[in-house]
C-alpha cells in the first residue's frame, strides 16, 4: 500500500502535476488501496500515464477479485459504509479526480478506474 | 500491510503427495532414483570430498567454515542428505527435513546464489562425473530426468523456507519500526508532542492513540500536539483515526492540536468531504505550540 501511494505521487510529479494535485491523486490511491486490503484482501493497482486530445494525464486502475459491492448506488453516496468507516472513500475519490468509473459485481470483484488530467 | 506476508505462505501447507504431483514425480521416478542410488551411494564420500575442493575456492567459504569442527559436522549432514535422497522415500518426514535444510542455510545468511550453485554442483556430479556408464542411454536419460525432478523439489522447499524466513524478519522489522515510531515527548510542562511519519494504518493509529493516552495519564498534560507534517496522505481512514484520537484525548482532559496540515492536505480533506468538527488544527508546529502556550497560560517574553 505504501508503495502504491509513493509511486502514485512520484508518477504525478514526473507527469508535471503540482504538489496539491499530486496529493489528491496519492490520497485517491490510498483510499482505493485501503478498500482492496479491507474488503478483498488482495488485488492490484496499476498506474498509467495517458494521453488524449485534451492533454496528458494519469490513470489508475484498482482491481480485485473480492466480494464486490452489492449496492453501488448507495456506496457512492456520502456517509454510507458497510465497514464502520466514514463512508466518504468512494464519493471522495470521485470528487478528487476528473474521471471516475467503477465496475463491480457481487462475488466477481471490483474495478475502479480513475483519471486526472493536467 | 499484512497481505504480502499472507501471500508468501501460499505453498507452505503442501504435503508430500501434493508436492509430488506438482513436480510430476511418480513411483517410477522414485524407483529409478533408488536404482541409481546403488551406483551412487558408495561414491557419496568421494563426491562430498570433491565438493569441498570446489567449495574452498568459493569466496563465501571462509565466512562459514572458520572452525574445522563445523566443516566436519556439515559434511556428515550432507552425507545424510544425499543418502536420504537416494532412498527416495518422499513422505511428510522427508519434506519436513528438506524444509529444515532451507532454514539452516537461511539462518547462517548464505546467499541463494551460492545455495543454487552448490546444488548444481552436486547435480553435475551425480548425473555426469560419477556416473559409471552402466545404464543404457535411454535408461540413463530417464534417470537423469527423475533425479532432476527430485532435486528441484528439494531445492524449492529450501528456497521457500528461505524466503518465508526472510519475510518473517521483514515483518518483524517493520513491526519494530512502528513501535519505535510513537515517541511521545514532553515539550513543556503540561504540553506533549508526537510527530507521526509515513503511512498510518489502523494498527499504527491504535499504537499512536495508546502511546498518547498513556503518556497523558502519566504526565497529566493538558495539551498534546500531534504533528502530521510527515504523514504521506490523509485519506478518510486516517482522518477518521485522527478524529477518534482527539476525542479520546479530550475525554482525558487533554486537548489535542493537530499540526502540520499543509495546503495540499487541507484541500484534499475538504474535497473528500470530511467533517473535522471541532478538531483543532494548525498549519505549522509553531502555531500549535503558540496555541498550547496560550492555553496553558505560559507567556514567553524576550528581553
Predicted local distance difference test score (pLDDT) of residue B5: 37
In Å, how far is B251's CA from the nearest CA of chain A?
21
How far apart (Å, rounded) are the C-alpha atoms in residues A84 and A99?
27
How far apart (Å, rounded) are the C-alpha atoms in residues B124 and B167?
31
Confidence of residue B134 (pLDDT cuts 50, 70, 90): confident
Query: What value does the mean pLDDT of chain A take?
Result: 91
Query: Edge-to-edge, what's the strand order for the sheet holding A55-64?
Result: A43-52, A55-64, A109-117, A99-105
Contact B271 A23 (CB under 8 A): no
In Å, how far is B254's CA from the nearest CA of chain A?
24
- Spatial contact of A91 and B274, defined as CB atoms under 8 Å apart: no
Place of cell 500549535: B288
Query: What value does the mean pLDDT of chain B take?
Result: 87
Contacts of B262 in chain A (CB under 8 A): 23
Least confident of B60-64, B169-173, B267-271, B285-289: B60-64
Average pLDDT over residues A35-49: 91
Q: What sections of chain B are H helices per DSSP? A: 3-8, 16-22, 27-40, 44-56, 61-64, 68-87, 92-107, 112-124, 137-180, 202-219, 236-251, 263-272, 285-296
Which residues are within 8 A (CB) of B104 and not within 5 positions of it... i.e. 6 or more apart? none
CATH number of A108's domain: 3.30.565.10
Q: Please, is B229 exposed, middle or buried when counting C-beta atoms within 10 Å of its C-beta (0-12, 13-18, 19+)?
A: middle
**Which range of residues forms the domain containing residue A52?**
2-117
Least confident of B3-12, B90-99, B256-265: B3-12
Predicted local distance difference test score (pLDDT) of residue B12: 53
Residue A61 — φ and ψ, nearest 5°? -115, 125
In the beta sheet, which residues pair with residue B280?
B257
Contacts of A66 in chain B (CB under 8 A): none
- Residue A117, H or E segment: strand A109-117
User: pLDDT over 90 for what percent of chain B?
Assistant: 48
Q: Spell out the domains of chain B, with CATH numbers in brackets.
A: 3-176 (1.10.490.10), 185-296 (3.30.750.24)
Q: Please, is B297 exposed, middle or buried when counting C-beta atoms within 10 Å of its C-beta (0-12, 13-18, 19+)?
A: exposed
Predicted local distance difference test score (pLDDT) of residue B10: 39
pLDDT 10s digits, A65-110: 999 998 888 889 888 888 778 888 899 999 999 999 999 988 889 9
In Å, how far is B244's CA from the nearest CA of chain A?
11
- Residue A67, H or E segment: none
Predicted local distance difference test score (pLDDT) of residue B6: 37
How many domains does chain A contain in total?
Answer: 1
Q: What pTM does this model have?
A: 0.64
Highest mean pLDDT among A34-48, B98-112, B199-213 belongs to: A34-48
Contact A20 B264 (CB under 8 A): yes
Contact A27 B233 (CB under 8 A): yes
**Angstrom distances, CA of residue B77 to CA of A47, B73, B164, B234:** 49, 6, 23, 54
DSSP letter, residue B41: G
In the beta sheet, which residues pair with residue A102?
A112
Whether residue B264 lies within 8 A of chain A, CB to CB, comes out as: yes
Nearest CB to B233 within list A20, A26, A91: A26
Chain B contact probe: residue of A8, A10, A13, A30 with most B CBs at under 10 A = A30
Residue B11 pLDDT more than 50?
no
Predicted local distance difference test score (pLDDT) of residue B114: 87
Predicted local distance difference test score (pLDDT) of residue B142: 92
DSSP letter, residue B11: T
Place of cell 476528473: A98
How far apart (Å, rounded) are the C-alpha atoms in residues A21 and A24?
5
Confidence of residue A114 (pLDDT cuts 50, 70, 90): very high
How far apart (Å, rounded) are the C-alpha atoms in residues B152 and B156?
6
Rounded to 10°, the helix B137-180/B202-219 angle is 30
How far apart (Å, rounded) are the C-alpha atoms in residues B4 and B241?
23
Contact B7 A42 (CB under 8 A): yes
Contact A24 B267 (CB under 8 A): yes
Contact B268 A22 (CB under 8 A): no
For B2, half-sphere exposure in the C-beta direction (CA atoms, 13 angstrom radius) is: 8
Contacts of B237 in chain A (CB under 8 A): 31, 34, 85-86, 89
Whether residue B187 lies within 8 A of chain A, CB to CB, comes out as: no
Chain A: residues touching B (Cβ < 8 Å): 1-2, 5-6, 9, 19-20, 22-24, 26-27, 30-31, 34, 37, 41-42, 78, 85-86, 88-89, 91-92, 95-96
C-alpha cell at B212: 498518547
SS3 label, residue B258 = strand
ipTM of the assembly?
A: 0.88
How far apart (Å, rounded) are the C-alpha atoms in residues A43 and A111?
10
Whether residue B279 lies within 8 A of chain A, CB to CB, comes out as: no
Whether residue B124 lies within 8 A of chain A, CB to CB, comes out as: no
Confidence of residue B266 (pLDDT cuts 50, 70, 90): very high
Predicted local distance difference test score (pLDDT) of residue B180: 67
pLDDT 10s digits, B148-179: 999 999 999 988 888 888 888 888 887 777 66
In Å, how far is B234's CA from the nearest CA of chain A?
7
Whether residue B230 lies within 8 A of chain A, CB to CB, comes out as: no
Contact A88 B236 (CB under 8 A): yes
Nearest to B145 by CA among B264, B31, B50: B31
Contacts of A85 in chain B (CB under 8 A): 236-237, 240
User: pLDDT over 70 for what percent of chain B?
Assistant: 94
How far apart (Å, rounded) are the C-alpha atoms in residues B91 and B96?
9
User: pLDDT over 90 for what percent of chain A?
Assistant: 61
Residues in chain B, total: 303
Residue B71 pLDDT more than 50?
yes
Measured between CA atoms, the residue of chain A closest to residue B200 is A2
Amino acid at each position: 500500500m505504501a508503495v502504491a501511494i509513493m509511486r502514485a505521487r512520484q508518477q504525478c510529479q514526473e507527469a508535471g502535476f503540482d504538489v496539491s494535485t499530486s496529493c489528491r491523486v496519492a490520497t485517491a490511491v490510498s483510499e482505493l488501496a485501503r478498500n482492496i486490503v479491507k474488503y478483498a484482501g488482495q488485488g492490484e493497482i496499476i498506474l498509467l500515464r495517458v494521453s488524449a486530445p485534451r492533454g496528458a494525464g494519469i490513470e489508475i486502475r484498482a482491481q480485485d477479485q473480492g466480494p464486490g459491492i452489492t449496492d453501488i448506488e448507495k456506496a457512492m453516496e456520502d456517509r454510507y459504509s458497510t465497514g464502520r468507516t466514514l463512508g466518504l472513500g468512494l464519493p471522495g475519490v470521485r470528487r478528487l479526480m476528473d474521471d471516475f468509473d467503477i465496475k463491480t459485481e457481487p462475488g466477481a470483484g471490483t474495478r475502479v478506474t480513475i483519471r486526472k488530467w493536467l | 500491510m499484512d497481505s504480502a506476508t499472507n501471500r508468501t505462505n501460499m505453498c507452505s501447507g503442501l504435503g508430500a503427495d501434493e508436492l509430488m504431483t506438482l513436480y510430476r514425480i511418480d513411483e517410477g521416478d522414485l524407483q529409478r532414483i533408488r536404482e541409481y542410488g546403488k551406483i551412487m551411494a558408495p561414491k557419496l564420500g568421494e563426491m562430498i570430498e570433491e565438493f569441498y575442493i570446489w567449495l574452498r575456492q568459493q569466496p563465501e567459504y571462509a565466512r562459514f567454515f572458520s572452525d574445522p569442527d563445523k566443516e566436519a559436522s556439515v559434511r556428515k549432514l550432507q552425507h545424510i542428505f544425499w543418502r536420504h535422497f537416494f532412498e527416495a522415500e518422499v513422505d511428510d518426514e522427508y519434506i519436513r527435513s528438506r524444509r529444515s535444510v532451507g532454514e539452516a542455510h537461511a539462518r547462517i545468511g548464505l546467499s541463494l546464489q551460492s545455495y543454487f550453485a552448490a546444488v548444481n554442483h552436486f547435480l553435475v556430479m551425480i548425473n555426469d562425473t560419477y556416473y559409471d556408464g552402466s545404464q543404457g542411454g535411454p535408461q540413463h536419460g530417464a534417470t537423469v530426468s527423475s533425479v532432476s525432478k527430485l532435486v528441484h523439489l528439494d531445492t524449492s522447499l529450501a528456497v521457500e523456507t528461505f524466503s518465508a524466513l526472510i519475510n518473517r524478519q521483514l515483518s518483524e522489522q517493520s513491526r519494530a519500526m512502528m513501535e519505535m515510531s510513537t515517541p511521545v515527548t514532553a515539550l513543556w510542562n503540561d504540553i506533549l508532542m508526537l510527530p507521526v511519519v509515513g503511512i498510518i494504518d489502523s494498527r499504527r493509529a491504535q499504537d499512536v492513540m495508546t502511546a498518547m493516552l498513556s503518556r497523558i495519564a502519566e504526565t497529566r498534560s493538558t495539551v498534546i500536539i500531534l504533528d502530521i507534517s510527515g504523514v504521506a496522505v490523509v485519506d478518510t481512514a486516517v482522518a477518521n483515526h485522527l478524529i477518534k484520537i482527539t476525542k479520546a484525548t479530550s475525554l482525558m482532559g487533554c486537548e489535542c492540536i493537530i499540526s502540520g496540515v499543509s495546503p495540499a492536505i487541507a484541500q484534499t480533506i475538504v474535497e473528500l468531504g470530511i467533517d473535522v468538527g471541532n478538531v483543532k488544527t494548525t498549519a505549522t508546529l509553531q502555531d500549535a505550540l503558540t496555541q498550547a502556550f496560550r492555553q496553558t497560560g505560559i507567556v514567553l517574553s524576550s528581553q
